[in-house]
Structure 1
Amino acid sequence: MDGDVRRGEVGSVRRRPADRRESILRAATAAFARNGYHATSMADVAAEVGISSAALYRHFRGKQELLGQSLLSGLESVLSRLAMAQVTGSDAVLSALTTACLELRGLPRLWQLEVRNLAAADRIAVLARVVRLNGFLRTAIRDRRPDLGADDIEFLGWCVLSVAVSPSYHRVQLPETTFVRVLDTIVGAVVGAEFPAVGDQVTAIPGGPRRDRRTVADPVDPTLRTERMISAAARLFNTYGYGAVGIEDIGAAVGVSGPALYHHFASKVDLLNEIVDRNEQWIRLYTSRAMAEADTPSDALRGLLRYFVRFAIREPDLLGTTLSEVGHLPREQASRYRRAHRGGIAEWVRMLQVVRPDMSADAARVQIQAMTCIVIDAVRNPRLTGRNDLATVLVEVGDRVVFADASSGIDQQLSRR
């Protein structure tokens, strides 16, 4: 029982804690960040707070509202801190962002992956606040880089936000002051990126960009038809989320009836598994090529970065679906993918440690994860994907992040443990 007042065994009156709503939001944020929106129930949140589900519903009408309020509360907290820091200057704004995102670790990931599960009004409100957040970053970057135009400043603003968000995608644990110092160093490397002159861009994708397959008639060849189904499903899952897309939607996207898909895939989850598997195949392919073509470890790292950027630009739907929807797979398949993903990151980390033998695995992991977040976020951000030089500037920024000298603070701290 959790009303305005509660009676104990001897008739004493115990009032509901004044911060109950805030406690619920903290617990909900932790649960959503840990398990994802679909795998978190109102009962899970109520149990974490120590109240009944009925009591939870007196504060929030449902899980969707609870997610929306969690995101809005977190964003308002970050915006408030950036506004206060802005009085001090651009460096304070950038550092305030990294500090806030570390303190709210896990929540920034929800801004990116779960916003489409919100009610329309909350979704618009969350996106508006993220744009406001980027506005603070644009102002701070403009102070440091008055030589850049508005589009390049906005690009760097989104990259800086990706760096701040990146700790939500891994579990490296460091003392807060050390972590903030490392992230600030990486942010400084991003803000210092150089942009190519007009006509000096490199071609992002050999053979031109990937075709939009939504309007292409269904081919007769079964193999090609299967590939079209995989591509259409990846695009729809990446855009709307696995739970919001039905077999009929995928069939309509490739010009066949929904049931016809069952001639190719046993179920929708089987199709999702195929998408994740294709993503892994691409990663293994370009990793092997980067290693084979390199003469030195540094060459291997830079080659791997270039191939990763090209893959991300060419196949954002494969990458995005794998990033956000793998939790819908059966546990064994999801665990297999997560092990493969950790193994891929570990390969980057080992190569960076060969180049920088003084660098700890934690230090290397922080930098690699920051780089991958920048690339993945950029190819899914409609405000950036129209850039003709996207591949070039992502390689430039990624190179600066990977080779940033941000490890000394980490390694000195680790050596004292």
Structure 2
Amino acid sequence: MLIVIPSSVTGLTIIGNRSRPLCGGPVRYRVAMSRTRPASGDAVRRRPKDRKAQIARASAEAFSALGFHGVSMEAIASRVGISAAALYRHYASKYDLFRDAVLNLGQQLVDCTAFADGTEFDDPHDELRRLVSGLIDTAMANRESGGLYRWEGRYLRGDDQASLIAQMRTVNHRLQRPLRALRPDLTSRQRWTLSISVLSVIGSIVDHRAKLPAVQVRALLAELATALMATELPGSTDTVGEPAAPVSTASVESSKYEALLTESMRLFNNKGYRDTGMEDIAAAVGMPASGIYRYFAGKSDILAAAFRRAADRLSDELTAITTAIPDSEDALTAVIDAYVARSFAQPELDYVYYTERLNMSPTDQKILRNMQRSTVESIVDLVVAVRPEWTPAQARFAVHAAMSLVIDLGRLMRYTNSPQNRAVLQRILDVTLLGRYRLRAALPAK
């Protein structure tokens, strides 16, 4: 008897020759692969060879755009064009996917500079140039997702966090090697300041969406990196004095409203937005949690109000400077000094903005982006007046680089509000925006 099991069920055609009754004795089968073809018009779906790479790109871009908590496995699967079940065959959890996305970005920075470990360079300038070029190319290739390791890497756990730190340390050491040969007089802290400054400027392109032809972006970032590596930093004996006093807001900080804004930002910076409860904020201010709702509907409203307040004050400060100081270079120098003073007096503002802004409503996010854009354009106008060789588009990239430097160097300095730290940051921003550094007649006391 011929027994055939349809190939549509099993994918195989089984042809058997039963030599004995079904109730007894062995049955021998010949198994042959079916050569059936899909019906006319049907397509055979095959898994792309680069499926895992597609998942990696999609997840990195999603986590960078929406944050770790704002992304689901289903959303990433949809971006790739597969089911969530198929995605789980590659990754057991969202955290596994996130960890690989972050560490893959860090590994790309390690890989693009790895050539330096096995090469003896006759000219340290050439080694430094090639390192910077590789880092710029990698940052540009990951502009849609590079913000992930900069702002979301804090969600890595234990050994994973240590792995990211080790990756960044490796890249910094590679930048510092030719720097040590070129400038043997630098202290270890000064080398770290300069290498982190270079990485900050290059990485700043992931924090904004300003437009510029790729060849000009590469040239501008290389120009800024080269200038920073040559910067003469103030030594520990160059500046003395007491830390500057915080920007004065005494007339309003006694109010519960202002206290809620201040303490909320401090807690968001220390604990993270999602791990800070309304009870935590209330306890810091000395009021019951129910009392907060007299001022704000929720945490998101507190976040938005704090940023709007800071943006308004910065805008007022810029307007006052440009109105009072007619010379563009003097005005830009005053803007730099004011920005540095504000960053040390309120260190949590910029960092919390970049790490937690996605927790605001879309409307509030748009309002804050527009306010930031207005601030950037005010500074761009001054930069172009001082550096006419730059177009407004080039100046815009430099301004965003300066803003990134304030955050990254501030964190390196642990925001210790000392005259030396402020002088170092002023010097770095001078080189970035003015193209040279200006000696101050006296360190600002405010």
TM range (shorter): 0.7 to 0.9
Q: 1:71 aligns to what?
A: 102
Among 234, 237, 241, the residue aligned to 2:268: 237
1:152 Cα offset (Å):
0.7
Q: 1:356 aligns to what?
A: 387
SS of match in other structure, 1:242:
coil
| AA matched with 2:59 | A
The worse-fitting range, judged by mean Cα deviation, of 321-330 and 187-196 is: 321-330
1:242 Cα offset (Å):
1.7
Whose helix fraction is larger, Structure 1's or Structure 2's?
A: 1
Q: How does 1:8-407 map to 2 (within 5 A)?
A: 9=38, 15-86=46-117, 87=119, 88=121, 89-201=127-239, 206-207=244-245, 223-381=254-412, 385=416, 389-404=420-435
| AA matched with 1:138 | Q
Equivalents in 1 of 2:237, 2:324: separation in Å?
27
| AA matched with 1:129 | Q
SS of match in other structure, 2:91:
coil
Equivalents in 1 of 2:169, 2:247: separation in Å?
28
Equivalents in 2 of 1:404, 1:196: separation in Å?
17
SS of match in other structure, 2:297:
coil
Q: 2:33 aligns to what?
A: none
Equivalents in 2 of 1:185, 1:110: separation in Å?
25
1:44 Cα offset (Å):
2.2
| AA matched with 1:184 | A
| AA matched with 1:331 | P
Length-normalised TM-score, structure 1: 0.85
| AA matched with 1:207 | A
Unaligned segments of structure 1, at least 5 residues: 211-220, 406-417
Q: Percent identity?
A: 28
Superposed CA deviations along residues 226-253 of structure 1, whole A, max 9, x for unmatched, are: 3332222102212333222211222233
**Preserved contact between residue 327 and residue 334 of structure 1 (Cα < 8 Å):** yes
Q: 1:271 to 1:175 in 2, by over 3 A?
A: closer
Q: 1:66 to 1:98 in 2, by over 3 A?
A: same
1:262 Cα offset (Å):
2.7
Q: 1:363 to 1:295 in 2, by over 3 A?
A: same
The worse-fitting range, judged by mean Cα deviation, of 198-207 and 362-371 is: 198-207
Q: 2:18 aligns to what?
A: none
Equivalents in 1 of 2:242, 2:148: separation in Å?
30
Q: 1:39 to 1:307 in 2, by over 3 A?
A: same
Length-normalised TM-score, structure 2: 0.79
**Preserved contact between residue 201 and residue 402 of structure 2 (Cα < 8 Å):** yes
Equivalents in 2 of 1:369, 1:41: separation in Å?
30
| AA matched with 1:348 | I
Q: 1:299 to 1:51 in 2, by over 3 A?
A: same
**Preserved contact between residue 378 and residue 385 of structure 1 (Cα < 8 Å):** no
Q: 1:198 to 1:117 in 2, by over 3 A?
A: closer
Q: 1:331 to 1:383 in 2, by over 3 A?
A: closer
Equivalents in 1 of 2:195, 2:286: separation in Å?
40
The worse-fitting range, judged by mean Cα deviation, of 385-394 and 65-74 is: 385-394
**Preserved contact between residue 265 and residue 271 of structure 1 (Cα < 8 Å):** yes
**Preserved contact between residue 345 and residue 417 of structure 2 (Cα < 8 Å):** no
The worse-fitting range, judged by mean Cα deviation, of 37-46 and 366-375 is: 37-46
For the aligned residue pairs, the C-alpha RMSD in angstroms reads: 2.9
Kindly tell me the number of residue pairs found equivalent between the two proteins.
Answer: 391
Equivalents in 2 of 1:165, 1:36: separation in Å?
18
**Preserved contact between residue 64 and residue 117 of structure 1 (Cα < 8 Å):** no
Q: 2:32 aligns to what?
A: none
1:335 Cα offset (Å):
0.8
| AA matched with 1:169 | D
1:382 Cα offset (Å):
5.5
| AA matched with 1:94 | V
Equivalents in 2 of 1:386, 1:122: separation in Å?
31
| AA matched with 1:59 | H
Superposed CA deviations along residues 45-99 of structure 1, whole A, max 9, x for unmatched, are: 1122111111112212232222211110111121011111452523322222222
1:8 Cα offset (Å):
8.8
Unaligned segments of structure 2, at least 5 residues: 1-10, 12-35, 122-126, 437-446
**Preserved contact between residue 38 and residue 44 of structure 2 (Cα < 8 Å):** no
1:162 Cα offset (Å):
0.3
The worse-fitting range, judged by mean Cα deviation, of 122-131 and 394-403 is: 122-131
SS of match in other structure, 2:113:
helix
**Preserved contact between residue 243 and residue 418 of structure 2 (Cα < 8 Å):** no
Superposed CA deviations along residues 135-168 of structure 1, whole A, max 9, x for unmatched, are: 2222232233212111111111111110110111
**Preserved contact between residue 208 and residue 400 of structure 2 (Cα < 8 Å):** yes
Q: 1:246 to 1:357 in 2, by over 3 A?
A: same
Superposed CA deviations along residues 287-311 of structure 1, whole A, max 9, x for unmatched, are: 1332244230111111101100110
Equivalents in 1 of 2:253, 2:232: separation in Å?
47
Structure ID, larger Rg: 2
Equivalents in 2 of 1:367, 1:30: separation in Å?
24
